[in-house]
Structure 1
């Protein structure tokens, strides 16, 4: 089996094509029959940064996953919708062949003077820390291919298909070989990496797929490059409602130094 390709090397293979960016989708970055959604979101942000560059940080990212993305290449087209004094909105569409596979809207915003006091949440404690927990081994054919790039440590909640009765999870995680990935892209990737807690309620393999995903980043809380690459992040997921094969859940992404790095909201289809 070929060695997995780190995210930094995948991104280095991108090429500009007019108002679009072409990127590879490698087999080791798949999630079942489609590409890992966090990778597609990262591709959208990278293309926005390449085509409509701005020094402003990413504040929000809305992503609709429209169609499966197979191994091969994708083309990300970018349109600058508007730039105001403090906010810029950019749309990206991910294409594979003639099919739109994802539509993303990025909101980039400059800091502005405010009289509001700072609200900077800190990570709640969990009983066990990463070094006290076993690593979840990657088993080809049983775990999604992209998970070989990550180290997951379950602090609370059940592993996928473990038959637990929980609707929540608390997971320590980090990306292998993350040295050349900036904190903004890393936070987008990690926020989508853990599975929905809903599939921990099953005793046999089931598939799940994100339908829509909204992520709100806290740029002031993102760590420096060294901490982002080597430290343990934590993703807390909570399922709030579900029926007819769909669940609605929220995500809190905590940086290695315990600050709230991003808030996410997601609709997930569960095929089981």
Structure 2
């Protein structure tokens, strides 16, 4: 059964992110939730928040084992404001990993579907081949946001190192790379759900390359979690460093690769997404 978030002090207001992740169980494997205005995007809710919701629904399953290691979300249709249902089904449970299928339903139709892999992490040989990013720290950078019309972005404090959202007169850029520091504006600590959300913080790369705001939206987003719960808790809500870059723009689609690092140079997650755009 999907469980609602519990253990809170009734005298302490919920954090907007935790409020948005609240799910009420209705029957085994099914729960209801409701969109929150604080996480609104141009059309429907912020995709990172939807990804976090689907992950949280699977995390709340009583027979779930291990921690998230991979999440793929397919945004099949816009999620409308209001109530929705999330259905979770375990596909297979192995000794060290478990596979889940999640679906977000509204008005009798699937609006988003996802798969998640959970794993039992073990002490093994470890190495990170990807070199940590060498960039200025967040403390000396100006705090900037995205567009005022992007409501969900107000939940984060962002400081761009490069590739800030272009001005109206910016013109095309030869690079699609954005590097930024980000953290929850109210200092909420990190967990896998919030890491899933922040992995989608980057605006569409086509904006930067074309120097213009074009209709664009994520179709599919896969996030790989390299940090466990203890690693994330140790961050204490500090800034994380993100970098995103596109690989190819072609015939109305492009793919984007991103990394999320801790201030100390630990690779927390990598993600890949497919985005459509109109030119």
Structures share a fold, TM > 0.5? Answer: yes
CA distance in 2 between partners of 1:137 and 1:235 (Å) = 15
Equivalent residue in structure 1 for 2:157, among 136, 148, 151: 151
Equivalent residue in structure 2 for 1:46, among 49, 56, 59: 56
CA distance in 2 between partners of 1:139 and 1:113 (Å) = 43
Post-superposition Cα deviations, 1:99-129, rounded to whole Å, max 9, x if no partner, equal: 2111110000112465xx3113552111x32
Q: Which residue of 2 aligns with 1:236?
A: 243
Q: Which residue of 2 aligns with 1:95?
A: 105
The answer as to whether partners of 1:223 and 1:256 remain within 8 angstroms in 2 is no
Q: Which residue of 1 aligns with 2:256?
A: 249
Post-superposition Cα deviations, 1:59-82, rounded to whole Å, max 9, x if no partner, equal: 111111100012212211000111
Does structure 1 residue 170 correspond to structure 2 residue 179? yes
Moved over 6 A (4+): none
The answer as to whether partners of 1:183 and 1:228 remain within 8 angstroms in 2 is no
Please list every run of 5 or more consecutive structure 1 residues that lacks an aligned counterpart in the other structure.
none
Question: What is the number of residues matched between the two proteins?
Answer: 261
CA distance in 2 between partners of 1:113 and 1:137 (Å) = 39
RMSD: 2.2
CA distance in 2 between partners of 1:259 and 1:7 (Å) = 24
The answer as to whether partners of 1:93 and 1:104 remain within 8 angstroms in 2 is yes
Q: Which residue of 1 aligns with 2:33?
A: 23
Q: Which residue of 2 aligns with 1:125?
A: 134
The answer as to whether partners of 1:135 and 1:153 remain within 8 angstroms in 2 is yes
CA distance in 1 between partners of 2:114 and 2:186 (Å) = 26
Q: Which residue of 1 aligns with 2:200?
A: 192
Normalised to the residue count of structure 1, the TM-score between the two structures is 0.87
The answer as to whether partners of 1:171 and 1:194 remain within 8 angstroms in 2 is no
Please list every run of 5 or more consecutive structure 2 residues that lacks an aligned counterpart in the other structure.
1-13
Does structure 1 residue 72 correspond to structure 2 residue 78? no
Q: Which moved more, 1:149-158 or 1:87-96?
A: 149-158
Q: C-alpha displacement at 1:6, in angstroms?
A: 1.3
The alignment partner of 1:39 has SS state of helix
Q: C-alpha displacement at 1:204, in angstroms?
A: 3.8
Q: C-alpha displacement at 1:244, in angstroms?
A: 1.3
Normalised to the residue count of structure 2, the TM-score between the two structures is 0.85
Q: C-alpha displacement at 1:237, in angstroms?
A: 0.6
Q: Which residue of 1 aligns with 2:220?
A: 212
Distance verdict in 2 for CA 1:98–1:178, change over 3 Å:
farther
The answer as to whether partners of 1:158 and 1:166 remain within 8 angstroms in 2 is no
Q: Which moved more, 1:56-65 or 1:19-28?
A: 19-28
